[in-house]
């Protein structure tokens, strides 16, 4: 798709591994940590473990095909490692984990840094670690010209409208938001932009969905940079937050029906 602005999209997805019966721990299976991710190429691909899951990083991408290529490159790399150890990559975004896989101290670590809520202007609380529920995310990194706090917060609200809300109708996971991924969850990323943290990793398992996330993110950012987002935020954000945080697919459908003809609404 043709972009009107200089925008880059990156990601740091997490992914579970599993056997034929359950999600298992990936701790110790690959090198790398939050503080020191392990490079696997000279193009900006890194791997590590986060809690009990694999995590990987891709370089910032300025076009859709590159985004797909880099996601698949690291996913394929990790799949080889999982298979070599007798496991496979999981498509699950959350699950109750057998306690034997949670004995390692790393399995009790939740979140290295706080994230924020642009709707309440507050820091999101860390999840309670006294649970066997674990989840994985598919966070989106957005680079754009001359980042500012105001613009980043608008981008996150636009991301919820264009990406997180319709994703409710695609993502089959129903429990991740008990821990992470409430509406608007984000981190400022100086000096290049902002990280949208609401999505699970559902989209990395399909090239069509990987492309969809890229395309919808670009639409959201361009809507903000073109100065066309304020009316949508004012009109829909309160309902969007409710739909996302309660996983209300019926409400999401009603909102999306109302804003289906985006171009018409934005030019009113």
User: Three-state DSSP class for 95?
Assistant: strand
- Nearest CA among 128, 123, 103 for reference residue 185: 123
Query: What is the pLDDT, as a whole number, of residue 217?
Result: 98
Query: What is the pLDDT, as a whole number, of residue 19?
Result: 98
Q: Structure pTM?
A: 0.95
Burial 102-126 (b: 16+ CB within 10 A, else e): beeeebeebbeeebbbbbeeeebee
Distance CA 241, CA 74 (A): 32
Query: What is the pLDDT, as a whole number, of residue 265?
Result: 47
User: Which of the four pLDDT bands, split at 50, 70 and 90, describes residue 127?
Assistant: confident
Mean pLDDT calculated for residue range 186-213: 98
Distance CA 15, CA 13 (A): 7
User: Which of the four pLDDT bands, split at 50, 70 and 90, describes residue 123?
Assistant: very high
Distance CA 143, CA 231 (A): 23
More confident residue, 267 or 91: 91
User: Which of the four pLDDT bands, split at 50, 70 and 90, describes residue 2?
Assistant: low
pLDDT at residue 79 is higher than 50: yes
Query: What is the pLDDT, as a whole number, of residue 1?
Result: 59
If you average pLDDT over every residue of the chain, what do you get?
A: 94
pLDDT at residue 49 is higher than 50: yes
More confident residue, 40 or 113: 40
User: Which of the four pLDDT bands, split at 50, 70 and 90, describes residue 242?
Assistant: very high
With beta carbons less than 8 A apart as the criterion, state whether 227 and 154 touch.
Answer: no
In degrees rounded to 5, what are phi and psi of residue 152? -60, -40
Distance CA 39, CA 132 (A): 30
More confident residue, 205 or 267: 205
* Strands of the sheet with 14-15, listed across from one edge: 14-15, 53-57, 46-50, 38-39
User: Which of the four pLDDT bands, split at 50, 70 and 90, describes residue 262?
Assistant: low
């Amino acid at each position: 798709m043709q972009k009107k602005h200089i925008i880059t999209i990156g990601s740091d997805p997490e992914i579970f591994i599993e056997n034929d019966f359950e999600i298992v721990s990936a701790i110790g299976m690959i090198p790398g940590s939050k503080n020191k991710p392990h490079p696997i190429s000279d193009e900006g691909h890194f791997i590590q473990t986060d809690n009990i899951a694999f995590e990987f990083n891709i370089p910032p991408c300025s076009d859709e095909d590159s985004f797909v290529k880099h996601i698949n490159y690291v996913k394929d790399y990790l799949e080889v490692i999982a298979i070599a150890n007798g496991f496979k990559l999981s498509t699950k975004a959350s699950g109750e984990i057998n306690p034997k896989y949670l004995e390692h101290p790393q399995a009790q670590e939740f979140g290295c840094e706080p994230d924020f809520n642009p709707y309440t202007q507050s820091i999101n609380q860390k999840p309670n670690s006294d649970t066997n529920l674990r989840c994985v995310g598919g966070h989106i990194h957005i680079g754009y010209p001359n980042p500012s706090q105001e613009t980043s917060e608008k981008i996150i609200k636009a991301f919820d409208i264009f990406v997180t809300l319709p994703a409710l109708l695609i993502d089959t996971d129903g429990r991740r938001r008990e821990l992470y991924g409430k509406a608007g969850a984000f981190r400022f990323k100086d000096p290049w932009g902002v990280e949208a943290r609401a999505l699970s990793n559902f989209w990395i398992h399909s090239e069509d969905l990987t492309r969809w996330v890229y395309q919808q993110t670009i639409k959201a950012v361009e809507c903000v940079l073109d100065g066309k987002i304020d009316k949508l935020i004012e009109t829909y954000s309160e309902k969007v937050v409710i739909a996302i945080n309660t996983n209300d697919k019926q409400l999401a459908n009603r909102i999306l029906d109302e804003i289906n003809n985006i171009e018409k609404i934005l030019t009113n």
